[in-house]
Amino acid sequence: MSDEAVLSAKGITRRYGERVAVREVSFEVRPGELVALIGPNGAGKTTLLSVLAGVQSADEGSVGGSAQGVGWVPQQPAIYTKLTVAENLALWARLERVADPRETVRRMLEQTDLADRADEQVGRLSGGNRQRVNIAVGLLSEPAALLLDEPSASLDPIQRGRLWQFIADLAAQGTSVVFSTHNVAEAERCARRVLVLHEGRLLFDDSPQALMQAAGGGAAGDKVDFEEGFVAFLQRAAGSERSAA
């Protein structure tokens, strides 16, 4: 872990009026890291990813990253439903000012296994394929880090399996990936590092095994259910916060 960070958050706070959605969050992501951002609904995952992606500005703190920037894959596919897959990729490639739009589109179609759907309008695709196009657009600029907001939320189990394989390959090739999920088991299975966000606060930043230990208090080998452990962990965290207050 001696590589320079491709993405860093320093004391990020983001408010919506009175409500603090993200509170003083700091962490760094290194090349090829596969990071899960977990937390219940409303924890601030989407807000944090948006700030990291530059879609929203932070009220306090700063975001740093490599020159190659970060790719952003929002939860709702952000693509033109009236355009075909290829037209979408070509348009976004040109807007991203990639060196060779044609070649980039061809490569992305191949990489995301969408070549035979290239001429279909996005609005007529299944949710899974739409999500693939969404991810493909996020990858067009060949970013050093890719941010995905709940990428598996609208997929069926088979599509999910394919998605995690794709993401693992991406990380293996050196692209850092940060994805959010409220499905704890998914984080345990797919990520090598877990960030736990609760009410805007970063409560935990370590491996899934370490989280399980912290949650269950037992040895790594114990058959403690990860999900139950996580809920217990959050309850304890909330409790300690209340007593601190």
Partner 1 sequence: MRWLLGKDLLILRRSRVLVAVLVVYPIAIALLIGLALSRSPGKPKVAIANLAAPGAAVELGGSKIEVGRYYSQLFSEVQPIKVKTREEAVQKVHSGEALAAVVIPANIAAKLSSVLSQGQLEVIYNGDALQQSVVQSKIQAAVAQANLALSVQIRKLAAQGINLLLQGGDLSRLGIAQSHLLGLEQAPSVLREAIAHQPPGHVRQELLRVQELADFAARNLNISKDVLATVGQPVQVHSTLVHGRRTPLDTFAVVVAVSISLMFVCVLLAAGGIALEREDNTLARLTRGLVSREGLVVEKLLLAGGCSLVLAFAMLAGIGAFVTLDWSRIGLWLAALVAGALAFGALGVAIGALTREVRAASLLAFLLSLPLAFLALVPAGAVAPALYNVIRAISAVFPFKAALQALDAAVNGAEPAIGGSLVHLLALTLLFSVLARIGLRRA
Ligand X SMILES: Nc1ncnc2c1ncn2[C@@H]1O[C@H](COP(=O)(O)OP(=O)(O)O)[C@@H](O)[C@H]1O
In the complex, the residues that contact partner 1 under the rule CB under 8 A are 50, 53-55, 72, 74, 76-83, 87, 91-92, 94-96, 121, 137
Q: Is 212 in the site for ligand X (CB under 6 A)?
A: no
Partner from Mg ion, ligand X, partner 1, none binding residue 80, C-beta < 5-8 Å depending on class: partner 1
**How far apart, in Å, are the Cα atoms of 169 and each of 66, 77, 125, 145, 162?**
21, 21, 24, 14, 11
Q: DSSP assignment of 4-53, as one string?
A: PPSEEEEEEEEEETTEEEEEEEEEEE-TT-EEEEE--TTSSHHHHHHHHH
Q: Which is nearest to 44 in space by CA: 10, 12, 8, 76?
A: 12
Q: How many residues bind ligand X (CB under 6 A)?
A: 11
Degrees (nearest 5) of the Cα angle 39, 11, 174? 70
Minimal distance in Å, beta carbon 186 to ligand X?
15
Task: Note whether 76 binds ligand X by CB under 6 A.
Answer: no
* Residues in 45-64 that interact with ligand X by CB under 6 A: 45-47
Please report how close the Cβ of residue 206 comes to ligand X at its closest, in angstroms. Answer: 20
- Please identify, using beta-carbon distances, which residue of 82 and 223 lies nearer to partner 1: 82
Q: Does residue 152 bind Mg ion (CB under 5 A)?
A: no
Are the C-beta atoms of residues 200 and 58 closer than 8 Å to each other? no
Q: Which residues bind Mg ion (CB under 5 A)?
A: 46
Q: Which residues bind ligand X (CB under 6 A)?
A: 16, 19, 21, 39, 41-47
